[in-house]
Amino acid sequence: MNEIITVKDVSLIYHSKKFETLALKDISFKIEEGDFVALVGPSGCGKTTILSLISGLLTCSSGEILVNGLKPDKKSKVCGYMFQKDNLLPWRTVEKNLYVGLEIQHTNTKEKKDYALSLLKKYGLENFKTKRPDELSGGMRQRVSLIRTLALNPKILLLDEPFSALDFQTRLKVCDDVLKILKDEKKTALLVTHDIYEAVSMADKIIVLSARPATIKNIHTLTFGRDKTPFVRRDMKEATDLFQKIWSEIQDEK
């Protein structure tokens, strides 16, 4: 398989008038096409920053990033970025919110819209199509935001804690679903999560970051239960062992 994301010796400094913040320091990793990679680390270490760099919203201070063989560019439409905050447009209905990305990319064909609607149905939000975002619960809004990202059918998905506002039950279900969609459609995904169990049950690879300035603490490649659903995989012995390991790795940083 070929590498779709290459991050090499990347550092990033946030500049403001009063001070500078070194957020990332010499980060290097590779992601192969079709991989599902989880990014875990203590809060505020720079996970969102990494996603922003890959999506092209930020440019790295030093080092090099290649996405699909090219420098990251937000106009390239390769990446679909789901933000930590849902960022739905409050004046649009749920349905119209789903079409925002399609409108921007001038691909709002009937086919794509239908696909978005089918996802809406799948996630049990069909009846809320004509509602405004502030009439939905936090978990529902997050699902809409996820569907909005999926509707664009990007090659790479950057997911920033996509399931954090979901209740436990829905969360497990949505995890299964999302992973299935991603695997069926051979998508590459980079998932930021603070839930180590989520990482362990879904990922092919887990990147553990240190506290800020983030450096790579460890990269785990998961070989067990790759044909199983996250729900099943979560309870495998290897999973619990790995959980313990990553837990202590992050704990060291705090």
Q: Which of 25, 47, 141, 233 binds ligand ATP (CB under 6 A)?
A: 47
User: Is residue 192 near other proteins by the rule CB under 8 A?
Assistant: no
Q: Which is nearer to other proteins, 81 or 123 (CB)?
A: 81
Shortest Cβ 83–other proteins spacing (Å): 5
Q: Which of 70, 104, 219, 232 binds other proteins (CB under 8 A)?
A: 104
| 91 contact choice in other proteins, Mg ion, ligand ATP, none (CB below 5 to 8 Å, kind-dependent) | other proteins
DSSP assignment string, the chain: --EEEEEEEEEEEEE-SS-EEEEEEEEEEEEETT-EEEEE-STTSSHHHHHHHHHTSS--SEEEEEETTB---TTS--EEEE-SS----TTS-HHHHHHHHHHHTT---HHHHHHHHHHHHHTT-GGGTTS-GGGS-HHHHHHHHHHHHHHT--SEEEEESTTTTS-HHHHHHHHHHHHHHHHHTT-EEEEE-S-HHHHHHH-SEEEEE-SSSB-EEEEEE--TTTTS-HHHHTTSHHHHHHHHHHHHHHHHH-
> Is-contact 200 146, C-beta < 8 A?
no
| 234 contact choice in other proteins, ligand ATP, Mg ion, none (CB below 5 to 8 Å, kind-dependent) | none
Considering only residues 28 to 67 of the shown chain, the ones binding Mg ion according to CB under 5 A are 48
User: Is residue 239 near ligand ATP by the rule CB under 6 A?
Assistant: no
User: Is residue 25 near ligand ATP by the rule CB under 6 A?
Assistant: no
Considering only residues 56 to 75 of the shown chain, the ones binding other proteins according to CB under 8 A are 56-57, 74-75
User: Is residue 217 near ligand ATP by the rule CB under 6 A?
Assistant: no
| 45 contact choice in other proteins, Mg ion, ligand ATP, none (CB below 5 to 8 Å, kind-dependent) | ligand ATP
Return the closest-CA partner of residue 191 out of 144, 230, 152: 230
User: Is residue 173 near other proteins by the rule CB under 8 A?
Assistant: no
Report in angstroms the alpha-carbon separations of 35 from 21, 58, 68, 181, 243: 31, 23, 13, 13, 20
| 104 contact choice in ligand ATP, other proteins, Mg ion, none (CB below 5 to 8 Å, kind-dependent) | other proteins
Give 14-22's long-range contacts (Cβ < 8 A, gap of 24+). 21/212, 22/212, 22/213
Q: Which of 23, 179, 207, 239 binds ligand ATP (CB under 6 A)?
A: 23
Stretch touching other proteins by CB under 8 A, among 9-17, 59-67, 83-91, 116-124: 83-91
Q: Which is nearer to ligand ATP, 12 or 94 (CB)?
A: 12
**Under the rule (CB under 8 A), what is the footprint of other proteins?**
55-57, 74-77, 79-81, 83, 85, 87, 89, 91, 100-101, 103-105, 152
**Under the rule (CB under 6 A), what is the footprint of ligand ATP?**
14, 16, 21, 23, 43-49, 84, 212
